[in-house]
Homo-oligomer: A and B are copies of this chain.
Amino acid sequence: MPSYKLTYFNARGYGEAARILFHLADVPFEDFRMTHGDGTWEKLKEKTPLGQVPVLSVDGFEIPQSAAIIRYLANKFGYAGKTPEEQAWADAIVDQFKDFMGSFREVGKAHAAGKPAEEIAKIMQSDVVPARDAFFVIINGILEKSKSGFLVGDGLTFADIVVVECITTLDKNQLFTPAGEPKLVALREKVYAIPAIKKWVEIRPDTQY
């Protein structure tokens, strides 16, 4: 078995779906977590392929970009969809998630510029909230047509993991109202009930993002 190392911050963020895939497949990996502000990232940055994390190292071969990493692992471990058409739909849902995350762009810029909390809250309302609502409409629409309760086909794919982790992080940051989103809550419960995922979710580091 190859030697895997995932380099990311001590956060779920763009690294957690990869971690979940490793736990799901029961494949050992080094879960290397950097702490913001301790200088590790500043030193490591220029050694990464694209100046970004997460990076997945497979026997020393480095893969950047979170979606590329999880697609690679999902293909290896059997969670990328069962047909080319299912794979395309799993990919499309992950791209839709990425498009939604783009709505945090101005929030990130405001944070970096040290803007006051009220200004950041205003950008959250103008940018993130409508994008979240549009994303939820799409995911609800897909779940409405699903016979299995999963987003694609009759089993778990990396698209379910990405969407559920997104919900978890929105929820931890007062951007998700469980009572208003029964289908999304059901998806989260379904995914978190899978024994290997359940076990990991119970013991994983509790971080804000």
Q: Are A88 and B105 also in contact (CB < 8 A) when A98-B95, A98-B98, A138-B50 are?
A: no
Do A64 and B92 have beta carbons less than 8 Å apart?
A: yes
Q: Restricting to A47-80, which residues have a CB under 8 Å from any CB of B?
A: 49-51, 58, 61, 63-69, 71-72, 75-76
Binding site for B on A (CB under 8 A): 49-51, 58, 61, 63-69, 71-72, 75-76, 84-85, 87-89, 91-92, 95-96, 98, 102, 105-106, 138
Q: Which of these, B63, B91, B98, contacts A92 with CB under 8 Å?
A: B63
The quantity of this chain's copies bound in the complex is 2
Do B85 and A65 have beta carbons less than 8 Å apart?
A: no
Question: Which residues on B sit within 8 Å (CB–CB) of A58?
Answer: 85
Question: Which residues on B sit within 8 Å (CB–CB) of A63?
Answer: 85, 88-89, 92
Q: How many angstroms between the C-alpha atoms of A40 and B51 in the bound complex?
A: 43
Do B91 and A65 have beta carbons less than 8 Å apart?
A: yes
21 A-B pairs within 8 Å (CB atoms) are namely: A49-B92, A50-B92, A50-B96, A50-B138, A61-B85, A63-B88, A64-B92, A65-B91, A65-B92, A65-B95, A65-B96, A68-B95, A69-B88, A71-B87, A71-B91, A72-B85, A75-B84, A95-B98, A98-B98, A105-B105, A106-B106
